[in-house]
Structure 1
């Protein structure tokens, strides 16, 4: 990759890593489900008037909007509001890669590679360490909702694979923008039912610059800028060259939460985070490393 594209990939990593801190700021002034409605409304409008609608049946857009939008971010925003540290959330959310393996096996009959199973074992050990830890500021409900967010993200990945299997070719940015028409109404209904009309009205009445910054950052920087650049890089380079940059997102998330929020992890949380990230690295690079080693061995034979 040329230096300019590497710089763009790192800019995306920075935007997505800091995103978790911004969520923490956002839910401080706006109820989580209402924040989700505002985020996806701003993503969809006015962008749908400028970005062509993907040539997909609406059922795919609805499924992606519900899993990626309502499921993933509804659970994540609520988790952080209910005590999940932002930095730790950025790590635990990466378990989506392994839930994707499980769901793809269940619904798409995809086979697993040995490196993926090894990575899954490491990641599960890491999640177990984090989940069983009683120290720090993490709540059990916050941890559980973050796992639910990761599972919803995995479900959205399976929807994308199902779209590809059906023979559709879709630009990622167009999919994100048009599917963002789906979450606002469910978010508003859930916010009215679970958070209450009084809290919704109070949040909108007292909407301040911090809340505005959070909504704009989540919609414009994390979503439109991030996915727009990401899809551009994927169109110019092989996925194997681009995807590994995502492993840096939780690293930035941990550093940003430390610097901007003063968060710190317990020893068990640090060890668990290390195991989970190691599992991700094994799953992403293990197959290629093993293939290279076998090829080198065959060449010497």
Structure 2
């Protein structure tokens, strides 16, 4: 990779790691539904200037509900209900585990031995983390957070069906498809008056966090990531995502004073290690078709 593109890959990982901290700050003023709706509304602004990509509405909605709505709404709910930011950033990256598992089931992509070992290592790490649940946040919050990597994985596979679409245009319209139901959910769950009050009384700090989440972390970062995946093999680009949980955990410890017990820290490092094994493994081979 060119030095400039390496810098971009690292920059995207840093942006995504800091986005967990921005989400935590914004959630002090907004409900998870409203915060997520505003995030995608800001990211959907380019829809005013770009045409809808040549992707059917059912596929567009399916990708949006999994890759964006399901993933980020689950994150927001979990963080709002006490799951530490650094831990959240690690759990979300376990999507690699679920992506490989779902690809084997749906596309019959047989994982390599190295990938299987990575899945096993990451699973052990998740079990170690699960052993710390119930002390500083609830089992229910952890269960909600686990929806995020599962939705992420489903969205990854659904995104394959949109090959050939312009990345920037596609992600803008995916954000729009997520923002509409999220606003509806916010109005139903919070009520029109509380929703309006939250919108009109948001602080400058909360607004800055939303602009970062929507304009930078979602719109710009996803576009840059898509360009890298277009120009280089995935094996060269995807490992940079391993920086995200490190950035998220470090930023959370600095901003919120987040600390990790020995078992949780060991579990987090084990998950990251398993993900590294999965990402650095050779590409899985498709199972032969039977007559």
Which TM-score applies when normalising by structure 2?
A: 0.92
Alignment partners' CA distance in 1, 2:173 and 2:107: 25
Separation of aligned partners in 2, 1:126 and 1:105: 21
1:273 aligns to 2:272 (yes or no): no
Q: Distance in 2 between matches of 1:43 and 1:286?
A: 33
- The aligned residue for residue 152 of structure 1 is 151
**Partner in structure 2 of residue 214 of structure 1:** 209
Distance (Å, rounded) in 1 between the aligned partners of 2:73 and 2:193: 19
Match of 2:260, SS state, is: coil
Q: Deviation of residue 107 (structure 1)?
A: 2.5
Partner Cα separation in structure 1 for residue 97 and residue 236 of structure 2? 20
The CA distance in 1 between the partners of 2:199 and 2:49, in whole Å, is 28
Query: Residue 235 of structure 2 contacts residue 280 of structure 2 at CA under 8 Å; is this kept in 1?
Result: no
User: How far does residue 140 in structure 1 lie from its aligned partner after superposition?
Assistant: 1.9
Aligned residues: 283
**What SS does the aligned partner of 2:196 have?**
helix
Kept after mapping to 1: 8 A contact 2:37/2:179: yes
By how many angstroms is 1:35 displaced?
A: 0.9
Shift of residue 170, structure 1, vs aligned partner:
2.0
Query: 1:181 & 1:135 partners in 2: Cα distance?
Result: 36
* Partner Cα separation in structure 2 for residue 199 and residue 111 of structure 1: 50
CA contact (8 A) 1:171 1:231 kept: no
Partner of 1:179: 174
Structure 1 counterpart of 2:138: 139
Counterpart mapping for 1:1-40 below 5 A? 1-40=1-40
1:236 shift after superposition: 2.5
1:259 is matched with 254
Aligned-pair RMSD on alpha carbons?
Answer: 1.7
Aligned to 1:247: 242
Q: Does 1:194 align with 2:189?
A: yes
CA drift of 1:50 comes to 2.7
Q: Is the 8 A contact 1:31 1:199 kept in 2?
A: no
Paired with 1:286 and 1:237, the residues of 2 have a C-alpha distance of: 17
Q: Note the C-alpha offset of 1:134.
A: 4.4
Report deviation, 1:231: 1.8
Residue 206 of structure 1 deviates from its aligned partner by 1.5
Cα 1:195/1:105, change in 2 over 3 Å: farther
Deviation string 1:25-54 (CA, Å, 9 cap, x unpaired) is: 011101110111111111112x01333422
Unaligned runs of 5+ in 2: 284-291
Q: Hey, what's the Cα distance between the residues in 1 that align with 2:243 and 2:80?
A: 24
Q: Deviations over 1:88-112 (max 9, x none)?
A: 1000111111111222222222222
Give the structure 2 partner of residue 92 of structure 1: 91
More helix by share: 1
Give the equivalent residue in structure 1 for 2:113: 114
Tell me by how many angstroms 1:237 deviates.
2.0
Q: How does 1:38-53 map to 2 (within 5 A)?
A: 38-45=38-45, 47-53=46-52
CA separation in 2, counterparts of 1:74 and 1:273? 22
Aligned position for 1:124: 123
Counterpart of 2:282 in 1: which secondary structure?
Answer: helix
